[in-house]
Structure 1
Amino acid sequence: MSAPTPPAAPQDPQFPQVPGSPIPGAASTAAAPAKEGKLKKVLSVVVLIVVAVVVKLGIGYVFDSPVRAAAGDCVKVTGSENNPDVETKGCDNKDANYKVLKVVENTFDVNSCTVGEAALAQEWDDDKFVLCLDPVKK
């Protein structure tokens, strides 16, 4: 004689039975967090890439701009002749090594300086100018 099989549990349409799962309704709850987690990771990577590109291009663009000194200002010029580094300084600052005698606008021609001992051409996008410089007397 064989034991009678228990009747199948009634299926509730609101909670479908997943094969192999003893808990009704366990099907969709596990898949949703996995998809959300993957989406968050992808979005995080995209945001990091965008931030890296902005930092790489944006900050360099802002900090590499030429020094806009006026006549009478003092500057510290370092670096090579082909790649000078210029910082505006107070004329009483010990690091200042040149005084700007004149600024010639809309040119990149260092021969446009008629005063001073040195000339420094600066260009930034469409803005170009030459600083006519004289060494600071200490």
Structure 2
Amino acid sequence: MTTPSAPQTPEQQPAAPAKKGGALLKKVGGIVVAIIVAVAVKVGLPHLTGDAPVHAEAGECVTVTGPDNDPKVDTVDCSSGKPDLFKVVKVIDDTFDVNQCGEQLSALAQQLNSDKFVLCLEEVAAK
């Protein structure tokens, strides 16, 4: 005759098998995070923070602020009367050659992702 074993305490009981849904959710979550990081790197964090160069079109107005070696360019309404207001006369793509704007216009070389371009600018008189 055998003697029944003593009941097991909760610490001694075998662990229940882990649910597979939790592991799948963690894996999918990790992939989503990796995609978000990849997009942030590809697009560039300046785009997310609003510090990206502006690829303005001819006829638009921009303000140019900041130091000469790192200017900040924002598009604005041409009638805004803001200081440092310039009208984009033309945009020259695929170059950093500011001399292509000529001597009568100011020029600002910019890069947005792999696009490089020069904004040829004419100062708008303050009102």
- The TM-score, its normalising length taken from structure 1, stands at 0.62
Bigger Rg, which one: 1
- Which consecutive residues of structure 2, in runs of 5 or more, have no partner in the other structure? none
From 106, 109, 112, the equivalent of 2:94 is 106
Q: Which residue of 2 aligns with 1:27?
A: 14
Q: Percent same amino acid among aligned pairs?
A: 35
Q: Report 1:65-104 matches (<5 A).
A: 65-95=52-82, 97-104=85-92
Q: Which amino acid aligns with 1:8?
A: T
- Partner Cα separation in structure 2 for residue 20 and residue 51 of structure 1: 50
- Partner Cα separation in structure 2 for residue 131 and residue 77 of structure 1: 11
SS of match in other structure, 1:111? helix
Q: Which residue of 2 aligns with 1:12?
A: none
Counterpart check, 1:8 vs 2:3 = yes
Q: Report 1:57-72 matches (<5 A).
A: 57=41, 58=43, 60=45, 62-63=47-48, 64-72=51-59
- Partner Cα separation in structure 1 for residue 91 and residue 122 of structure 2: 12
The number of aligned residues is: 119
Deviation at 1:107, TM superposition (A): 1.4
Say which is worse superposed, 80-89 or 58-67, in terms of deviation.
58-67
1:134–1:92 distance in 2 versus 1, CA, 3 Å: same
Q: Which amino acid aligns with 2:45?
A: G
Q: Which residue of 1 aligns with 2:112?
A: 124
- Which consecutive residues of structure 1, in runs of 5 or more, have no partner in the other structure? 1-5, 10-16
Q: Contact (CA 8 Å) 1:105, 1:128: kept in 2 or not?
A: yes
Q: Which residue of 2 aligns with 1:134?
A: 122
Deviation at 1:48, TM superposition (A): 9.3
- Partner Cα separation in structure 1 for residue 74 and residue 90 of structure 2: 16
